[in-house]
Each structure stands twice: as structure tokens, then as C-alpha cells.
A = this chain, B = another copy of it.
């Protein structure tokens, strides 16, 4: 299934509800504050989020998995799925691959498929949290942190392999999510585990090409339930500093203890020039990996408020890698990703509407009421007209989810691929 420009323009023409009147009212209102909606439309049209190759099939929990029809059975089919998202939204112009699930047999062919969809290769993801069928060493008791040098070396080599594949594809970064940790007190010597991890990361960092970045994730728990070696941003930041300039912390929204103020972490990392990337999802309890914006959209807005601020004021921090990282346990994965892209862009627009000048003054004056008003005044707008305008500008569908349904994409995929396929991944 391939969606082309004619599908899109036909769909857009049929949309009876015009958003132009609403857009004009917004333009009018914000021009008085010196905020240009046109500039925001351009920024939104330019914003690209990577789609993880492992999130195109149904996800599950330890209690089971309910499968979905038409799942992609190969890397090529995964790229085709992302191609659908990209055609519909023009915001999904990159893929983030997971090795060993997505090792391309024919690099050249895969690059051509990607290019034909307008998809770039974003960060590569290594996997040292599972044993592959032919594994020579086990990660049961850790990978980069393992007390056993052979297991450590095996995990380091895997990461080097991932870099090699990534180089061929044109990726420029490696994301390391380390599941290492302990299920029980006493199982790990914390200090040894941390030292081993630092040494392993340095070994990986050393072989990384000069124009690559290393992203180090953190997570407090799961799959280990007593401790995780890289449990928080502080540990990731420390390790990134130890590795070198091109090592950064990566923030996954679901990887925090209850009630963590994530936006403050974002601000701190950007101030220090150490925020590398972002994994979008949402959660109510733990690392629930549900659709971004479905539970706490205001928190998402507050985070984007810091990101927008940092992108403007922190030249010391490089451009960020954006990626969705969710698990589609109940929804059609492609629909879920469309809802995710929608939520991300809405939060981004809301953040761009914040009157930063007025906010700065109100902060100086300790006018707390006004500070809150300024943020809420941006957040409470209906920004969907701006999003629609950005989409129309970039050749996307003004309402991607509706277009997806009207074009019968899932039905078509099932017809092409059957109902029994199962994508590799979580």
C-alpha cells in the first residue's frame, strides 16, 4: 500500500470544514502580541519525528498480546508502513532501527526503499536485554555492566556492530538503553556495575565515527525490579560526561519515578548542553508506553515549553533526536502513531505560542498569577487550525487519521499481508 500525493489532495479537497476562519482569528489575536502564526506554521511543517521500527506491530505485556492484522513481516514492509505515515503527515520522515530485529539483508535496496518514502535513518538502537537464539553469551545478569568480562565484551561488540550497520545506512547516532540491573538487594555491587558500565560505554564511544552522537537512556526500573544501573538522569549525565563531548542523555517520558518533574530535567540538560534526544509516550503508572498526550497533555506542553526555550536560548545544546516510543497493545499501531504525531505537534504549537517576553517579565516581577496565565493562555487555544495549515503547506493530509480510515489502509494491508503476520519487536 502506498499513498500518493493525489490521494492526499483529493482528501483535502473533500474536507468541508474550513479551518481558515479560525486560523485568521488566531493570526489576528497573536499578531497583537508580536507572535507570527506564519512562522509557527513553518516550524511545524519542518518538525520531523522518527518512528521506531519495533512499534509497527501490536505490543503486549507479560500477561499476553492480542495481535493485529496486516503487521509488517520484514524491514521493507516496516518502511512501507512508515511511508504511509509520512505521506499522511509529512512529519514522520525518519525511522529508528532496532538491531538485531532489523538487520538489512541488502543495505542498498533498503536505502532505496527508505528514500522512495522520504525516510531518513535516525538513531540506531542496540539490544542487550534479550538473548538471541544463537547468542554465545547471556545477558541474564547484565550486559555492559556484567561482572563477567566475556559478557561485557559481547555486548560491547554488539554495539559496535550496530554502529557499523548504521554507518552503512546513513544514521548518525546510537541509542543505548541499558536494562542492566538487579531484581534483589545484594545481587549487584552497585559501584562495580557502574564502573563496568562506564568502561563499556567508553569503549563504544571510542569507535563511534566523528560525526556520530551517543545517546544514553535512563530508567528507574523494569525489567529489573530492585535497581537499574542507569537509574536516573543524574547517572546518565555523569556517564555522558565521562564518555565525552558527543555523548548525551536521552529522555524517555515513561522512564521516571512517580511525580518526577521532567520538564526541569529537560531544562537542566539543555542548559548543560547534554540533552541528546527524546522518546515520546505517555503513562499514568509506570513505563506504560501508551499514546503520547493521551494521559497528561499539559505536562507534555510544559516539556515542550522547555524544549522551545532551550532550542532558542541554548546554542550549547545540539539539535535533538525526536522519536516516538510506545507500545500499541489495543489500537491499530498506525492509527496510534498518527494520534501520537498529532499530540506532539499540538504541544509543540502550544509551546510556540507562549509569550516568552511577557513570561520573562512576569517572572522578574514575581507575578506568579500572571506567569500561570501566560502559559495557560497559550495552552487553552485550539491550535488545530495551525496544524492543518502546516500540513497543507507540506503536502500532508489536513486530517491524517480520517484520511487513513477513508483510504482503507489497514484493510489494504491485511489484504496484502494477511492476518497472521507478526512484527518483530515488543
Q: Chain A interface (Cβ within 8 Å of chain B)?
A: 17, 21-22, 25, 29, 59-64, 66, 129-131, 138-141, 147-148, 179, 182-192, 194-195, 220-223, 225-227, 231-235, 237-238, 257-261, 263-264, 267-268, 270-272, 283-286, 288-291, 293-299, 302, 306, 309-310, 313-314, 327, 329-332, 335-336, 339, 346, 359-360, 362-364, 366, 368-369, 371-376, 379-384, 401, 426
Contacts and interface: CB of A to CB of B under 8 A. Distances in A.
A22 to B, nearest CB: 6
Contact of A261 (B25, B194, B220, B363): B220
A268 to B, nearest CB: 6
Contacts of A235: 234, 268
Contact of A226 (B182, B222, B237, B261): B261
A186 B365 CA distance: 13
Number of chain copies forming the complex: 4
Given A330-B184, A382-B381, A259 B284 contact: yes
Nearest to A288: B225
A290 B220 contact: no
A366 B147 contact: yes
Given A221-B285, A257-B257, A295-B298, A264 B62 contact: no
A260 B221 CA distance: 10
B372 A184 contact: yes
24 contacts: A22-B22, A25-B25, A62-B426, A64-B131, A66-B138, A66-B139, A66-B140, A184-B294, A184-B330, A184-B371, A185-B372, A185-B375, A186-B371, A190-B263, A192-B363, A225-B285, A225-B289, A231-B261, A231-B264, A232-B233, A232-B234, A235-B268, A332-B369, A336-B369
A137 to B, nearest CB: 12
Nearest to A327: B62
A148 B296 CA distance: 30
Contacts of A192: 363
B190 A285 contact: no
Nearest to A360: B189
Contacts of A183: 290, 329-331, 368
Interface centre among A21, A259, A381 (most CB of B within 10 A): A259
Contact of A259 (B22, B220, B298, B426): B220
Contact of A426 (B63, B66, B225, B372): B63
Contacts of A140: 66, 330, 366
A332 to B, nearest CB: 7
Given A329-B223, A330-B368, A268 B194 contact: yes
A187 B61 CA distance: 18
A294 B373 CA distance: 10
Given A227-B261, A235-B268, 14 more contacts: A62-B426, A63-B130, A64-B131, A184-B290, A185-B294, A186-B371, A187-B372, A190-B268, A191-B270, A223-B329, A231-B261, A331-B368, A380-B383, A380-B384
Given A61-B62, A258-B257, A380-B382, A187 B363 contact: yes
Contacts of A260: 220, 257
A363 to B, nearest CB: 5
A425 to B, nearest CB: 11
Given A62-B62, A285-B259, A297-B298, A195 B271 contact: yes
B359 A186 contact: yes
A258 B284 CA distance: 9
Contacts of A296: 296, 298-299
Contact of A369 (B234, B286, B339): B339
Contact of A227 (B185, B264, B362): B264
A299 to B, nearest CB: 8
